[in-house]
Amino acid sequence: MKVIGHFINGAEREDSGRTQDVFNPATGEVSSQVALAAKSTVEEAVAAAEQAFPAWRATPPMKRARIMFRFKELLEQNSDAVCRAIGSEHGKILHDAAGELQRGIENVEYACGAPELLKGEYSKDVGPGIDSWSEFQPLGVVAGITPFNFPAMVPLWMFPMALVCGNTFVLKPSERDPSASMLMAALLKEAGLPDGVFNVVNGDKEAVDTLLNDSRVKAVSFVGSTPIAEYIYATASANGKRCQALGGAKNHAIVMPDADMDNVVNSLLGAAFGSCGERCMALSVAVAVGDQVADQLVEKLKDAMGSLKVGIYEEQSNDFGPTITREHQARVIGHIDSAEDQGARVVVDGRHLTVPGYEQGFFVGATLIDGVTAEMDSYKAEIFGPVLQVVRAGSMEEAMKLINDHEYGNGTCIYTRDGEAARYFSDGIQVGMVGINIPLPVPVAYHSFGGWKRSLFGDLHAYGPDGVRFYTKRKTVTQRWPSSAVRENAEFSMPTMK
Ligand code: NAD
């Protein structure tokens, strides 16, 4: 059976150590094995990145950007292979994988503007004959640790920007769907990236902990679940590294009485069930303001959900695919059981779905649960499956309080025709990414992505302008060229502009 190894110093590397199964989640079969890097392998990758750093740092940003332009072309030319790698290991349908890849490519496009982004700041005459400027220098070796749910897009949030800023990179992708990262590593090489500048180590906790504890790694970008994000942030920070760690989510949509209900239903279907609900921006809670709105919403959703198609990634007419693993399938079903046990009403039940011909797949059907309350375990948890829960609120204030009290603050949305209500909502809601009649308000590549509360640990958001700041350190130079005729006396008071 094929063993997916690592990509270190410009070449694929086999590994004779520990391995883990990679599944095709639609069939339930093992499709390959992925190597789980030992400490020494990770250290080798860090050493390659460290060695490549001085020359890469000295490469003009325009030249780095040209490699990114070529990489973008290659991603587009090879999109079918990348999307198939995503579909076969993650299970998402090809049209959805193509959307993921396109959102990733947009980050490459933004990174192509590196010469402009790195221009710095300049002030002439901050004092007599004195000029001052701030420049943005690379950090050195930086690491990215990424989740299973966007095997191409989330790495692309990180490494294009890190590389054009002059850093070298070690990526530790999710061990559940590692192939997209390996393909991208090969395409970067083909684009002309020097060996050692970008490396991939596959692995689990051992690989991650090695990166966190290696003093040669200057910064860590992480995306994944909240408990791990918190651990990564605490450990990396304690080790003196810069860290941004994006965690889990529970994204609510408020449905106001004046919303266009047919639009709401269409919009919620995609946002709740697309990618099997395995998106950190999935809308998993609809908060209906008023019982009348809730009754109407539930009825319309129930009807519309009857026509959703669940199945394999190759079939483009499918709406979504399986969950990632059998354990995750069981966890999602467990959340539905618990909501029911705690008094909620399962209106559409996806627990017993089987897809003909794929009976061993890790499928869960689209599920709608009404009468969910803030005390229920299924409300508190991030389910990360195709489950939409409806909470009934008496007022908009009550709906907003529910969102503000939740431990996560990644994304949210309000459906309304009332501009004043929308403005009040966007101003007061304690969430990092807000949609107004937009269900998945994922910022475009030239803004930055990040949640609030326990959805992000760190200061700077991912990609966009925050990405430039995260992957560079500011140096401020103040300069004077005194003429030999002028000699100054020693000055013991704090220098000021006189
Ligand atoms: P995960 O936390 O299980 O894994 C993420 C990464 O951490 C993987 O590379 C994994 O190998 C590593 N890891 C796992 N356990 C570890 C441990 N004990 N010590 C060190 N490293 C460990 O997350 P996942 O299941 O792959 O992804 C789904 C989660 O990611 C969801 O919670 C989702 O909301 C979140 N996510 C968040 C965002 C965001 O931008 N906020 C985006 C995508 C996904």
Instruction: Say yes or no: CB of residue 204 within 6 Å of ligand 1.
Output: yes
What is the DSSP pairing of strand 367-370 with strand 387-393?
parallel
Give Cα separations from 273 to 158, 186, 259, 286, 498 (angstroms): 26, 33, 21, 13, 65
Confidence of residue 489 (pLDDT cuts 50, 70, 90): confident
> Which pair of structure tokens corresponds to residue 14?
């086999």
> Which pair of structure tokens corresponds to residue 6?
């690592």
pLDDT digits (tens, 9 = 90+) for 35-44: 999 999 999 9
pLDDT digits (tens, 9 = 90+) for 303-319: 999 999 999 999 999 99
Characterize 278-302 residue by residue with b for buried, 16 or more Cβ atoms within 10 angstroms of its Cβ, and e for exposed: bbbbbbbbbbbbbeebbebbbebbe
User: What pLDDT does residue 485 have?
Assistant: 66
266 φ, ψ to 5°?
-60, -45
Characterize 480-494 residue by residue with b for buried, 16 or more Cβ atoms within 10 angstroms of its Cβ, and e for exposed: eeeeeeeeeeeeeee
User: What atom of ligand 1 comes closest to residue 147's alpha carbon?
Assistant: 26
User: What atom of ligand 1 comes closest to residue 249's alpha carbon?
Assistant: 34
Characterize 56-86 residue by residue with b for buried, 16 or more Cβ atoms within 10 angstroms of its Cβ, and e for exposed: bbeeebeebbebbebbbebbeebbeebbbbb
In percent, how much of the chain has pLDDT > 90?
Answer: 95
In whole angstroms, what is the distance from residue 28 CA to residue 355 CA? 12
> Is 483 a residue whose pLDDT tops 80?
no
Nearest C-alpha neighbor of 254 from the set 429, 108, 383:
429
In whole angstroms, what is the distance from residue 399 CA to residue 334 CA? 26
User: Is residue 249 helix, strand or coil?
Assistant: coil
pLDDT digits (tens, 9 = 90+) for 275-306: 999 999 999 999 999 999 999 999 999 999 99
User: Is residue 171 helix, strand or coil?
Assistant: strand
**pLDDT, mean of residues 87-112:** 98
Residues 6+ apart with CB under 8 A from 388: 268, 272, 273, 283, 284, 285, 286, 301, 366, 367, 368, 369
Q: Is the four-CA dihedral 151, 175, 85, 314 of positive or negative sign?
A: negative
The answer to whether the beta carbons of residues 435 and 276 sit under 8 Å apart is no
In whole angstroms, what is the distance from residue 351 CA to residue 364 CA? 6
Centre of ligand 1 from the C-alpha of residue 251, in Å: 17
The answer to whether the beta carbons of residues 427 and 269 sit under 8 Å apart is no
User: What pLDDT does residue 496 have?
Assistant: 84
Centre of ligand 1 from the C-alpha of residue 189, in Å: 27
- In the residue annotation, 280 being an active-site residue is answered as yes
In percent, how much of the chain has pLDDT > 70?
Answer: 99
Instruction: Say yes or no: CB of residue 389 within 6 Å of ligand 1.
Output: no
User: How is residue 172 annotated by DSSP?
Assistant: E
Pocket test for ligand 1, best of 42, 148, 156 (most atoms within 8 A of CB): 148
Pocket test for ligand 1, best of 243, 244, 280 (most atoms within 8 A of CB): 280
**pLDDT, mean of residues 236-249:** 98
In DSSP terms, which residues pair with 135 in a beta bridge? 475
Instruction: Say yes or no: CB of residue 225 within 6 Å of ligand 1.
Output: yes
Instruction: Say yes or no: CB of residue 151 within 6 Å of ligand 1.
Output: no
pLDDT digits (tens, 9 = 90+) for 156-200: 999 999 999 999 999 999 999 999 999 999 999 999 999 999 999
Give Cα separations from 253 to 171, 304, 402, 441, 449 (angstroms): 34, 18, 11, 11, 19
> Is 490 a residue whose pLDDT tops 90?
no
pTM for the full model? 0.97
Instruction: Say yes or no: CB of residue 145 within 6 Å of ligand 1.
Output: yes
Whose CA is closest to atom 19 on ligand 1? 205
Instruction: Say yes or no: CB of residue 280 within 6 Å of ligand 1.
Output: yes
- What's the half-sphere exposure (Cβ side, CA atoms, 13 Å) at 377? 11
In whole angstroms, what is the distance from residue 250 CA to residue 405 CA? 11
User: What pLDDT does residue 110 have?
Assistant: 98
Whose CA is closest to atom 35 on ligand 1? 224
Instruction: Say yes or no: CB of residue 384 within 6 Å of ligand 1.
Output: yes
ipTM > 0.85, yes or no:
yes
